[in-house]
Structure 1
Amino acid sequence: MKTRLLLLLLCFTGFFTSCRKEKETRVTDYVDPFIGTAGQGHCFPGAAVPFGGIQLSPDNPRSGWEWCSGYHYSDSIISSFSHSHLSGTGIGDLQDIRLLPVTRRPRPGEKAIDFITSGYAKYSHANETAEPGYYSVTFDNGIKTELSVTNRCGMHAYQYPSNAIHGLTLDLTTARNWDRTVMTSIKKINNRTIQGYRKSTGWAREHNVYFFMEFSQDVDVWAGVDTLQLLRNGQKIVSDKGYAWIDFGTVTNKILVKVSISSANCEGAAANLDQELPHWSFDKVRREAKQQWKRALSRIKVEGGTKEETRTFYTALYHAYLAPYLFSDAHGNYKGPDGEIHSVGKENQYTVFSLWDTFRASHPLFTITQKDRVNDMINSFIRHYEIHGLLPNWELMGNESHCMIGNHAIPVITEAYLKGIRGYDVEKAYEAMKETSLSKGHGLELFREYNYIPCDLEKESVSKTLEFAYDDWCIAQMAKALGKENDYLFFMESSKNYKNLFDPSTGLMRGKLADGSWRTPFSPFSSTHRNDDYTEGNAWQYSWFVPHDIDGFISLHGGKEAFARKLDSLFTLPSVIEGSNASPDISGLIGQYAQGNEPSHHVAYLFNYTDKPYKTQYYIDKIRRELYTDRPDGLCGNEDCGQMSAWYVFSALGFYPVNPCDTKYQLGTPLFKKVIIKLGQDRRFVIKANRENDQYIYVKRVLLNGDPLDRTWITHDEIINGGELEFELTDSIIAD
């Protein structure tokens, strides 16, 4: 009897443990990759792994603002499944190595491009599924496609209707948005393998993608430029255009395709498959991709929110972990900004650094949850510097695009160093920071000469002045930590240059001429994508970027009360933008505040510095509720490689890095009743809050490890060391 009871107890324990494990894996069920694919989010819904080098996703046959990622939820036609995509940028590129299953064969003499476009397939969202690491769709013509990925490889599974032709098109030519094909190659290696390349120019000026592709059965390959001709084994075509049709015959209607890409050569792409995908089990690829996401997402566990809030949170965390992308292949090779092939050996090179966006919250999030990758990213910066002579600005696939302003690799390095993340050559990193800041391009020479950038000598003069001043403050902190006193004094002095563009009569930052007079006329509501004074914003939106000297900035306004009144005006002025060429980035408006554009992201937290933190709590809650949802249009602006979502992650946790390099986080108001941040095997940082209902947003008291916290911020060390942060909330305003 005792033995039977013991067996029953063991069975029950095993069943309970199994259920508990199953429940833990459900964190991935809260992710919806379709969030951000409508509206202005510019997200893609396809398969990827955290920070992976493959983004295997569907493309629509359109170009333009809405289709920067290749896909927009409003569309109903798919033109291809391609292997590289940008996550939420405002410019379109990539979409390389485009495949599409089709049910017809080319007619004799039919133009290749006509045959390719004739295969574009209609679909319904009702027949579309996406989850972390997996995407599937069934076309109206009956073809079902499933996609999954490893770090450097993509796997396609096609199921064709019975009695249909089983074919696949390969398009190396069709350009979308900024991209234009320069040269292509397609070579048939044997009956089951092809390889080649696509070289293009666009936002990434010199973009080379080499591919290696294997099929689960013997195939015939028809390739060409104008018309398609049968390729023999060992034969290849090289041209400025390249198309192919792969004939699977009729042996089976279930086909698998493995694809890998490399920026270096076809050998690197082949090595990716040998290392990461030597088998033919689609289910194994899908399962392991989901496991990667489970491990990454489970480092933060939230409890006590609604289903919508939890879905929004974990999808935001998912988006934050899509970029940067792994760039080096299995041989350790990648194309550098000089166009040459470089090697990192067994280390990792990353690409897609949207630093103007991501230094604000994405990289600070990585310092808590992705410390090892932070070292890889900074080493990627240093290699870029060694080849290019400067740190990256907006690096894209081995190219320096110089798309945005500032030198924001500098705060990323400084933040990491001051937070104790130092797995790189620190002196080389400092050398790169200093060399970049003292270079002469993009207005820096004027910044040094005038102690501001004159608006009659350089466009975007105000925003560049403010961002260079912040970068210099960051270098000063690094210099101080390294004992470089003269550098510290020099860069601290130049970090005050923001004051030279503050107009006390308007309380805003304003363009100034080389002779020291203000630009006239002055319209603080005027906004263009790139105007004379501001980058993607207007005076109201950009005038708050002084995160390194907020006390000094408050003094310019005449003190805390005056500063608070000015902040109030930002949120309460009419949401009007002047100018016929208004930037589409200016979105998610609350008054003149624009959550859809990064310069606004720290601003709601500035009330903490005015003795009115309840206003920070009010606006953070308002932004979360009104401008983020779990619908396809759930982002109010471009995702921008993770920054839009990283803001939400931090703001849902209850704190935010207003100045990432002061190693402090300003407190807001938590969204969940309980959050557990896993920092290591035996360390946790727990956030608790008595969220009785949606009106409980105001902070009555904060306890850190049981002791009252008499400040509006916590430090990075207080988080990383583990402990408990408890918010006592109320539904009533806690004034002064």
Structure 2
Amino acid sequence: MRTRLLLLLLCFIGLLTSCQREKETRVTDFVDPFIGTAGQGHCFPGATVPFGGIQLSPDNPRSGWEWCSGYHYSDSIISSFSHSHLSGTGIGDLQDIRLLPVTTRPQVGEKAIDFITKGYAKFSHANETAEPGYYSVTFDNGIKTELTVTSRCGMHSYQYPTNSVYGLTLDLTTARNWDRTVMTSIKKINNRTIQGYRKSTGWAKEHNVYFFMEFSQDVDVWAGNDTLKLLKNGQKLVSNQGYAFIDFGTTTNKVLVKVSLSSANCEGAAANLDKELSHWSFDKVKREAKQRWKRILSRIKAEGASKEETRVFYTALYHAYLAPYLFSDAHGNYKGPDGEIHSVGKANQYTVFSLWDTFRAAHPLFTITQKNRVNDMIKSFIRHYEAHGLLPNWELMGNESHCMIGNHAIPIITEAYLKGIRNFDVEKAYEAMKETSLSQGNGLGLFRTYNYIPCDLEKESVSKTLEYAYDDWCMAQMAKALNKEDDYLYFMEASKNYKNVFDSSTGFMRAKLSDGNWKTPFSPFASAHRDDDYTEGNAWQYSWFVPHDVEGLIALHGGKTAFANKLDSLFTLPSTIEGDNVSPDISGLIGQYAQGNEPSHHVVYLFNYTDTPYKTQYYVDKIRRELYTDRPDGLCGNEDCGQMSAWYVFSAMGFYPMNPSDGKYQLGTPMFKKVTIKLGQDRKFVIKANRENDQYIYVKEVLLNGDKLDRTWITHDEIMDGGELEFVLTPENPSKIKE
């Protein structure tokens, strides 16, 4: 009896311990996918897995700036659940293979598009749920939809009101924002399977999506481009527009649908289902998706902040791990930028590379927590180069969009190599880097000829000059590491070209004509949307982009004191911006500093190069508190495929990669009492801070593995070697800054 009681006690203790451990490690509970779905965040709330190829999420019937991701929290109507979405971009595209459960059947002779739009359903956020890998909503008409995913497949669960029509619409035509359908196909394979494609043009000029769809029971399929007609097994509809109604009959009011996509062909989409989703257990897929998120988010354990701050942190980490997307199908096939089908075998090809944004913090975050994926991403760059002739600029679904400026695949490759991430063809990568650097397009030829880009010969001349100069510095570091001395000297000299657009009389980077004279008139406050001298910014915001030579930039300003005074002005000047075509990206303003747009993201850390590093600490805390919240409008600007959130992740931990390729992280002020970064089975890097309350933001001293640090930065190697970084904080403001 005593033995039995002891065993029961031990079992109870074990169960209790297990429950406590599970509760402690459920980081997914702190993720709210609705953060960033209102305001200008442009996030989607639907189901996806880390870096997954499917983003299964609801769409609203509207288009425009607020609806770039297909969904905006201000809306109350859902027009479809589609399988591809962009996370926080400033341009809308995708939203492919649109399904919507309905409770009506089409009338004889009724136009297909009229029937489709008639089914658009009202809903309330009170009946909507989202968590990592799962989304659910119950419409006002009583239909409940649940969505979950694998890497390449989406799974839908629909529960209809009893005694209603159990139907589903398929819309391959309706386009939002920039996208326009050019050709569709729907083929009924058998009573439970259809396949087809949607080909469109838009931001992605040649976007091909092949789908394979299975139903949990027999169905009738009515398809057409004008009116809907019954489709028999083996029949196919091909048209420039395609719609369908799937009738589930009256067998059961709960129906499951499995969908997979491929950019190559329907066979690849079918293979995805065979490989990843051969069963019909919705709960199993949902559980495994959440487990994948738990594993990847748990690599960083943050402790000792409020629930709201922790929620913002882990949602930011979640957003940082959405893109790039897996692009190759289960056969290893994908459509390349040359329009041809390529194969990677068992490797992975990625897409959606918003490099102008993500080279700054998202990719540096990957070098700490996603080293294997960094190799896969660089291999994806190289394959893009082999098919296209240049490294990707803004790659979207096998297309080069040429959307943004700079050649920022170069710093990403350089950063990876210098950090010891080298499981790729290094010589081929360098060949691609050099070929891209010495190409002539997008003002690069002018940059090589004039050693700056003349504004009368090329738009966005100032920002392009600055960003090409930084890329050339990264080229020089890669050349030096590979013992290519002549290249090193050439690109190092070219990296100084930023000085040629600095006007010492105004203290700003400024547009210069081809005759060497400054463009007039000049206002540092003027801001046009990417058709003037600066890309999504003005002179106040772009004049600081010299992350590779901050000492040189300080010298141009006349020394540390003058430089610090200029930085002060950036944050304290009025927030108004001039210009008839002001970019909506210029948001999250503190003075002229714009956290809502990427060129500003490193600027707050420039105080570390002066005698006032406490101002970095002050403003980092101010940005975190005021411009990031756990509400749907909790992002002050576009999420931009993870960059906006990666800034927060780093800055909340207490350091930031101001120049990602120099191997250093500038110190700020940590938000948590303790952060543990898991680097491997036996290594971890721990950041500790005596953050007694929200006033403890100023750094009194920093200890690295017990030794006092006499610098404002730490190295990548110091992090990856494991150890402890301790911040001794104080609430005392050294200069008593007032907001």
Q: Same fold (TM over 0.5)?
A: yes
Whole-angstrom distance in 1 between the partners of 2:735 and 2:591 = 23
Q: Which amino acid aligns with 2:579?
A: G
Give the alignment's TM-score, normalised by structure 1: 0.99
Does the aligned pair in 2 maintain the 1:190–1:233 contact within 8 Å? yes
Q: Which residue of 1 aligns with 2:191?
A: 191
- 1:23 and 1:31 map into 2 onto residues whose CA distance is 14
1:252 equivalent in structure 2: 252
Match status 1:524 vs 2:520: no
The aligned residue for residue 640 of structure 1 is 640
Q: How many residues align?
A: 736
Matches for 1:154-233 after TM superposition, within 5 Å:
154-233=154-233
Could you tell me which residue of structure 2 aligns to residue 344 of structure 1? 344
Q: Distance in 2 between matches of 1:215 and 1:158?
A: 11
User: What displacement does 1:564 show?
Assistant: 0.1
RMSD of Structure 2 on Structure 1 (CA): 0.9
Residue 473 in 1 paired to residue 495 in 2?
no
Separation in structure 2 between the aligned mates of residue 22 and residue 718 of structure 1, nearest angstrom: 31
2:21 maps to: 21
Alpha-carbon contact 1:699-1:734 (below 8 Å) kept: no
Aligned amino acid, residue 39 of structure 1: G
Q: Distance in 1 between matches of 2:633 and 2:45?
A: 13
Give the Cα separation in 1 of the matches to 2:366 and 2:629: 23
Give the drift of 1:2. Answer: 5.6
Q: d(CA) in 1 for partners of 2:8 and 2:237?
A: 67
Q: Which residue of 1 aligns with 2:721?
A: 721
TM-score normalized with structure 2 length:
0.99
Q: Hey, what's the Cα distance between the residues in 2 that align with 1:528 and 1:505?
A: 23
Give the aligned partner of residue 493 of structure 1. Answer: 493
Separation in structure 1 between the aligned mates of residue 86 and residue 21 of structure 2, nearest angstrom: 34
Alignment partner, residue 437 of structure 2: 437
Distance 1:109 1:435 in 2: 58
Aligned to 1:606: 606
By how many angstroms is 1:143 displaced? Answer: 0.1
| Cα displacement string for residues 171-191 of structure 1 (whole angstroms, at most 9, x for unaligned residues) | 000010000000000000000
- Tell me which residue corresponds to 1:707: 707
Residue 267 of structure 1 deviates from its aligned partner by 0.1
Amino acid at match of 2:381: F
Q: CA deviation at 1:480?
A: 0.3
- 8 A Cα contact 1:224 1:242, kept in partner: yes
Match of 1:507 in 2: 507
Aligned equivalents of 1:9 and 1:146: distance in 2? 40
Distance 1:359 1:63 in 2: 29
Amino acid at match of 1:468: Y
In structure 2, the partner of 1:547 is 547
Q: Secondary structure at the match of 1:647?
A: helix
SS of the aligned residue for 1:356 comes to helix
Output the CA distance in 2 between the equivalents of 1:308 and 1:50: 23
Q: Deviations over 1:85-130 (max 9, x none)?
A: 0000000000000000000000000000000000000000000000
1:274 pairs with 2:271: no
State how far apart, in whole Å, the 2-side matches of 1:617 and 1:369 are: 25
- Structure 2 alignment gaps of length 5 or more: none
Correspondence 1:284-295 to 2 at 5 A: 284-295=284-295
Amino acid at match of 1:511: A
Instruction: State the shift of 1:528 in Å.
Output: 1.2
CA distance in 2, matches of 1:401, 1:596: 22
CA distance in 2, matches of 1:41, 1:214: 34
- 1:25: Cα distance to partner? 4.0
**Which residue of the partner structure matches residue 457 of structure 1?**
457
CA distance in 2, matches of 1:435, 1:381: 13
Displacement of 1:412 = 0.3
Q: Secondary structure at the match of 1:47?
A: coil
Amino acid at match of 2:405: I
Matched residue SS, 1:638: coil
Q: Which amino acid aligns with 1:665?
A: Y
The aligned residue for residue 329 of structure 1 is: 329
What is the DSSP-based 3-state SS (H/G/I as helix, E as strand, rest coil) of the residue aligned with 2:26? helix
Which letter does structure 2 place at the counterpart of 1:440? Q
Code of the aligned partner of 2:717: D
What is the rounded CA distance, in whole Å, between the counterparts of 1:26 and 1:719 in structure 2?
A: 25
Q: Displacement, 1:473?
A: 0.2
Unaligned ranges ≥5, structure 1? none
Counterpart of 1:303? 303
Q: Which position in structure 1 is the counterpart of 2:132?
A: 132
Deviation, 1:18, is 1.5
Q: For residues 175 and 327 of structure 2, what CA distance do their matches in structure 1 show?
A: 22
- C-alpha separation between the residues in 2 aligned to 1:271 and 1:583? 43
Distance 2:19 2:259 in 1: 36
Shift of 1:15: 1.5
Native 8 Å contact 1:68 1:88 kept in 2:
yes
- Partner amino acid, structure 2, of 1:435: E
One-letter amino acid of the counterpart of residue 165, structure 2: I
Once the 2 structures are TM-superposed, how far is the Cα of residue 505 of structure 1 from its aligned partner? Answer: 1.1
Q: Which residue of the partner structure matches residue 379 of structure 1?
A: 379
Following the alignment from structure 1 to structure 2, what is the Cα–Cα distance between the partners of residues 109 and 24? 59
Which amino acid counterpart does residue 392 of structure 2 have in structure 1?
Answer: P
What is the percent sequence identity of the aligned residues? 87
The alignment partner of 2:546 has SS state of coil
Cα deviation for residue 596 of structure 1 reads: 0.2
CA distance in 1, matches of 2:242, 2:537: 41
Separation (CA, whole Å) in 2 of partners of 1:15 and 1:184: 54
Cα distance in 2 for residues equivalent to 1:153 and 1:78:
21
Alignment partners' CA distance in 1, 2:166 and 2:39: 35
* Alignment match, 1:399: 399
- 1:5 Cα deviation from its structure 2 partner: 5.4
Q: Distance in 1 between matches of 2:630 and 2:299?
A: 21
Aligned mates of 1:505, 1:114 — CA distance in 2: 63
Secondary structure of residue in 2 paired with 1:238: strand
Matched residues in 1 for 2:699 and 2:480: separation? 36
CA distance in 2, matches of 1:130, 1:146: 10
The alpha carbon displacement at 1:642 in A equals 0.3
1:579 & 1:516 partners in 2: Cα distance?
25
**1:560 maps to what in 2?**
560
| 1-structure distance, mates of 2:429, 2:410 | 9
**1:199 aligned counterpart, secondary structure:** strand
State the partner residue of 1:365: 365
Secondary structure at 1:725's aligned position in 2? strand
User: Structure 1 counterpart of 2:126, which letter?
Assistant: A
| Residue aligned with 1:312, SS | helix
Cα distance in 2, alignment partners of residues 241 and 193 from structure 1: 20
Preserved contact between residue 458 and residue 532 of structure 1 (Cα < 8 Å): no
User: More displaced, 50-59 or 19-28?
Assistant: 19-28
Instruction: Give the corresponding residue for 2:60.
Output: 60
Does the 8 A contact of 1:51 with 1:326 survive in 2? Answer: yes
Task: Return structure 1 stretches of 4+ with deviation > 4 angstroms.
Answer: none
Q: State how far apart, in whole Å, the 2-side matches of 1:202 and 1:435 are.
A: 28
The equivalent of 1:94 in structure 2 is 94
1:537 is matched with: 537
- Give per-residue Cα distances to partners, 1:496-553, cap 9 Å, x unaligned: 0000000111111000000100000001111111132100000000000000000011
Give the CA deviation at 1:11.
Answer: 1.2
Instruction: Look up the SS of the partner of 2:553 in the other structure.
Output: helix
Partner in structure 2 of residue 150 of structure 1: 150
Q: How far does the alpha carbon of each residue in 1:327-370 deviate from its partner, in whole angstroms, 9 at most, with x for none? A: 00000000000000000000000000000000000000000000
Give me the whole-angstrom Cα distance separating, in 2, the residues matched to 1:17 and 1:424.
Answer: 44
Structure 1 residue 17: Cα displacement: 2.9
Q: Equivalent residue of 2:63, what SS? A: coil
Give the conservation status (yes or no) of the 8 Å contact 1:86–1:94.
yes
1:454 counterpart letter in structure 2: P
- Find the aligned partners of 2:531 and 2:165 in 1 and give their Cα distance: 54
Following TM superposition, by how much is the alpha carbon of 1:735 offset from its aligned partner in structure 2, in angstroms? Answer: 6.1
SS at match of 1:579: coil
